[in-house]
Amino acid sequence: MPNKVITLDEFIFNKQANHSLASGELSGLLRDIGLASKIINREVNKAGLVDILGNLNSENVQGEQQKKLDVYANNQFINALRNSGQCAGIASEEMEDILCFEDDRARYAKYVVTLDPLDGSSNIDVNVAVGTIFSILKRKSPMGQFCDRNDFLQKGTDQVAAGYVVYGSSTMLVYTTGNGTNGFTLDPSIGEFCLSHPNFMMPKDGEIYSINHGNRWNFSEGTMKYIDHCINKLQDRPKPYSLRYIGSMVADIHRNLIKGGIFMYPISKKRPNGKLRLLYECNPMSFIVEQAGGIATDGNRRIMEIEPTELHQRCPIFMGSPKMVEHLKKCLEIDYD
């Protein structure tokens, strides 16, 4: 007898009672994010056929050239989350400040959302995997008022849920609410995300390291020491690790989550604070990786324990299989002596 197909909606409903903040609002919010992801997936898949490739004549708050699809994806999430009635406001990598939804439902909504609407969007033009990253936080501001910045400036340990969508050869949504990490693959024949990877567990060790190797000589002494470890043959490892770097955080971590490995975006001479954003990228991906048995650190601290002070705060990040990350941390001790 074939296994029963479990859709994302069914899974969310069935698991709702297991969450300490169980509510129809959180479940509805996750479903709305899934719906927006389906719309974005449709546009990504036909990107070569419509006018959504290439750059706009604008930059985002990070000073990066905005892609047309970045803005499209951001608008889709704004529309979906505003219409949901479950979200008080959002903070996005594509916007300078938070966006409060100014209607009666939003004033009484329990949650806020942080987003990287289209991670790795520079890959779109060359038909390489991209993704979406999201984090859900319970608001701190009083119910009945509009949300404010303090609702978003929370540590990663305060996340209620986090997830990502990878738009690749197949489209997958992976999320956690703190009770393990589960993956769902979009079945285009029925237009539903279906449970395909229940209770993801990252291998304790791996053979893949992911880093922009071209920046090697700008990295710290400790990071370079670990890279040397990866590329050399050792007594207990007859061949070097394999370098795999896509340039999309979602795609790189998704691969390592399944196969085992380590993802690194360290500080460098050019980026002394790192490049990736704590609220939109590092915290949600750390939550997912930890719930799958992995480790996420800035080299000295657990990522999810960093106190955020700015919306677009950056930090270095190393995450992946426990054995690999623990060895990396020993190498990085040089940098903190």
Is there a single domain that holds both residue 159 and residue 232?
no
The model's pLDDT over 291-335, given as tens digits with 9 standing for 90+, comes to: 999 999 999 999 999 999 999 999 999 999 999 999 999 999 998
Alpha-carbon span 241 to 231, nearest angstrom: 6
Decide which of 151, 178, 197 is a domain's last residue: 197
C-alpha 258 chain-centroid distance? 15
pLDDT level of residue 14 (50, 70, 90 thresholds): confident
Alpha-carbon span 276 to 116, nearest angstrom: 11
Asked if residue 51 is part of any domain, the answer here is yes
Asked if residue 1 is part of any domain, the answer here is no
Q: Is the dihedral of CA 5, 172, 34, 318 positive or negative?
A: positive
Is there a single domain that holds both residue 160 and residue 99?
yes
Decide which of 197, 228, 253 is a domain's last residue: 197
Asked if residue 73 is part of any domain, the answer here is yes
CA 57 vs CA 15, 52, 62, 67: distances in Å: 44, 13, 15, 9
Sheet (strand 159-167) strand order: 99-100, 87-92, 111-119, 130-138, 159-167, 171-176, 181-187, 192-197
Phi first, then psi, for residue 187 (nearest 5°) are -95, 105
3-state class of 152 per DSSP? coil
State the CATH number of the domain containing residue 93: 3.30.540.10
- Residue showing tokens 């690194």: 264
| Total tally of structural domains belonging to the chain | 2
The model's pLDDT over 211-251, given as tens digits with 9 standing for 90+, comes to: 999 888 899 999 999 999 999 877 677 788 999 999 999 99
3-state class of 270 per DSSP? coil
Helix (H) or strand (E) run with residue 259 in it: helix 249-259
Is there a single domain that holds both residue 16 and residue 136?
yes
Is there a single domain that holds both residue 41 and residue 174?
yes
Rg of the Cα atoms in the chain: 20
The model's pLDDT over 74-115, given as tens digits with 9 standing for 90+, comes to: 999 999 999 988 999 999 999 999 999 988 899 999 999 999
pLDDT level of residue 123 (50, 70, 90 thresholds): confident
Phi first, then psi, for residue 57 (nearest 5°) are -90, 50
Tell me: pLDDT of 196 over 50: yes
Is there a single domain that holds both residue 253 and residue 153?
no
Tell me: pLDDT of 276 over 90: yes
Q: What secondary structure letter does DSSP report for 280?
A: I
Mean per-residue pLDDT of the chain: 90
Sheet (strand 242-243) strand order: 242-243, 208-210, 262-265, 317-320, 295-297
* CB-CB neighbours of 96 under 10 Å: 10
Tell me: pLDDT of 20 over 60: no
3-state secondary structure 80-97: HHHHHCCEEEEEECCCCC
3-state class of 247 per DSSP? coil
pLDDT level of residue 64 (50, 70, 90 thresholds): low
Is there a single domain that holds both residue 41 and residue 185?
yes
Is there a single domain that holds both residue 119 and residue 234?
no
Is there a single domain that holds both residue 70 and residue 120?
yes
pLDDT level of residue 1 (50, 70, 90 thresholds): very low
Decide which of 146, 177, 197 is a domain's last residue: 197
* Burial 2-23, CB ≥16 within 10 A → b, else e: eeeebbbeebbeeebeebeeee
Asked if residue 286 is part of any domain, the answer here is yes
Is there a single domain that holds both residue 259 and residue 170?
no
Phi first, then psi, for residue 306 (nearest 5°) are -75, 130
Determine the angle formed by the axes of helices 8-15 and 24-45, rounding to 10 degrees: 160
State the CATH number of the domain containing residue 259: 3.40.190.80
Q: What secondary structure letter does DSSP report for 241?
A: P
Residue 42's domain comprises 8-197
Is there a single domain that holds both residue 32 and residue 140?
yes
Asked if residue 2 is part of any domain, the answer here is no
* Average pLDDT rounded to a whole number, residues 159-172: 94
* pLDDT recorded at residue 4: 82
